[in-house]
Amino acid sequence: MRATARAHTNIALIKYWGKRDESLFLPMNSSLSITLDKFFTTTTVEFCSCLTEDVFVLNNQLASEQELTKITRFLDRVREISGKGYRAIVNSTNNVPTAAGFASSASGFAALTAAATKALGLNLDGTTLSKIARQGSGSACRSIHGGFVEWRKGEKIDGSDSFAKPVMSDKSWNISILSVLLTSKPKGISSREGMKRTVETSPFYSGWLASVEQDFLSAKEAIRARDFEKLGTIMEANAMKMHATTLGANPPFSYWNSGTFDVMQEVHNLRTLGIQSYFTIDAGPNVKILCHPKEEQIVQEALLKIPTVKAIHICHPGPGIKYLSDSDRLKKY
Ligand code: DP6
């Protein structure tokens, strides 16, 4: 009753922003992402009849009560599916540089889904794993798969048609994703809270919904055609629209800081110089930039000149979940 799995983080090209069902994590809109090679979570789950409650060790330290509650709630769903009530020891390590500004909940819940279901003897396909991972954190359903991934919102009330699937593998189109770190401070408003407030109060949210499905279809077409300019243009505009909804919320809020503007301006500047680069921003101030691999160094150098930029991590498309043996787990990566 023990298994280890690894899942990589993903960055949304078309954002998931808003839920139509909070308990099942059903999204208001479809989204698209790239799974990244560099950042991942490795999780071992061991169920035992000897345990009376779950134990959660995160990065070699006993996790807080709050983190444990989230894990137990999620494991309860897995226990329900398997019909086995055992408690578990969950040991999770994030290979995300601590200050990368990348959310690890997507890779965390994807790895936990794969390891926990395997440990209970369930051999589930990617679609089923994705539906389960979604109920830990929406964006986690996309981290089950590698490369370019779509998550169609689905229509059904039980969520059975809301899961992620691959659009194109990580090997089929090599593009660079630069993660620009401005701050590693935890964000004031979580994505969960931010999207809820926006759905409930922002008059701009209807504008988001009116255009996001078209963005999703156009971005998917651009990926299939390997049309970098088209993909970058849609991605950047989609991020701007998502962030615009927060300004109309009550109370209003923004995830950006002054460094966010500095980076956005430099990306525009690089484009006027003929270097194709496009930005996107999640629920925080840090910026991710898409560029051609042959120009990643030039883009990195230009951005490192901005005083508010603390670090840049260069990523490329990466793989989906992998099951590991005990000896693999012990190897250094
Ligand atoms: C802005 O998946 O973190 O990064 O489902 O509430 O756990 P919950 O939210 P989460 O939200 C991600 C929001 C986003 C866009 C995206 O990744 O698509």
Reported as a single tens digit per residue, the pLDDT across 172-217 is: 999 999 999 998 777 789 999 999 999 999 999 999 999 999 999 9
pLDDT score of 31 more than 90: yes
Average pLDDT over residues 89-97: 90
Average pLDDT over residues 84-91: 97
Q: In angstroms, what is the span from residue 61 Cα to ligand 1's centroid?
A: 25
Q: Does ligand 1 have an atom closer than 6 angstroms to the CB of 198?
A: no
State the closest ligand 1 atom to the C-alpha of 136, by its place in the atom list counted from 1. 7
Q: Does ligand 1 have an atom closer than 6 angstroms to the CB of 138?
A: yes
Confidence at residue 38, expressed as pLDDT on a 0 to 100 scale: 94
| 245 vs 320: CA distance, rounded Å | 31
**Range of weakest confidence among 67-71, 93-97, 211-215, 299-303:** 93-97
User: What residues form DSSP beta bridges with 249?
Assistant: none
Confidence at residue 103, expressed as pLDDT on a 0 to 100 scale: 64
| 163 vs 160: CA distance, rounded Å | 8
Identify whether the C-beta of residue 2 lies closer than 8 Å to the C-beta of residue 100: no
Coil vs helix vs strand at 19: strand
State the closest ligand 1 atom to the C-alpha of 140, by its place in the atom list counted from 1. 2
Q: Does ligand 1 have an atom closer than 6 angstroms to the CB of 139?
A: yes
Q: In angstroms, what is the span from residue 138 Cα to ligand 1's centroid?
A: 6
- CA-nearest residue, atom 4 of ligand 1: 282
Confidence at residue 101, expressed as pLDDT on a 0 to 100 scale: 56
Confidence at residue 102, expressed as pLDDT on a 0 to 100 scale: 66
Q: E strands within 271-330?
A: 277-281, 287-291, 311-315, 322-324
Q: Does ligand 1 have an atom closer than 6 angstroms to the CB of 191?
A: yes
Confidence at residue 260, expressed as pLDDT on a 0 to 100 scale: 97
**Range of weakest confidence among 96-100, 202-206, 266-270:** 96-100
Q: Is the full-model pTM beyond 0.75?
A: yes
Confidence at residue 61, expressed as pLDDT on a 0 to 100 scale: 95
**Range of weakest confidence among 89-103, 280-294, 318-332:** 89-103
Q: Does ligand 1 have an atom closer than 6 angstroms to the CB of 205?
A: no
Confidence at residue 104, expressed as pLDDT on a 0 to 100 scale: 80
DSSP string, 26-57: EESS-EEEEEEEEEEEEEEEEEETT-SS-EEE
- CA-nearest residue, atom 7 of ligand 1: 137
Q: Does ligand 1 have an atom closer than 6 angstroms to the CB of 16?
A: yes
Q: In angstroms, what is the span from residue 77 Cα to ligand 1's centroid?
A: 20
Confidence of residue 98 (pLDDT cuts 50, 70, 90): low
- Rounded to 5 degrees, φ, ψ at 132 are -75, -45
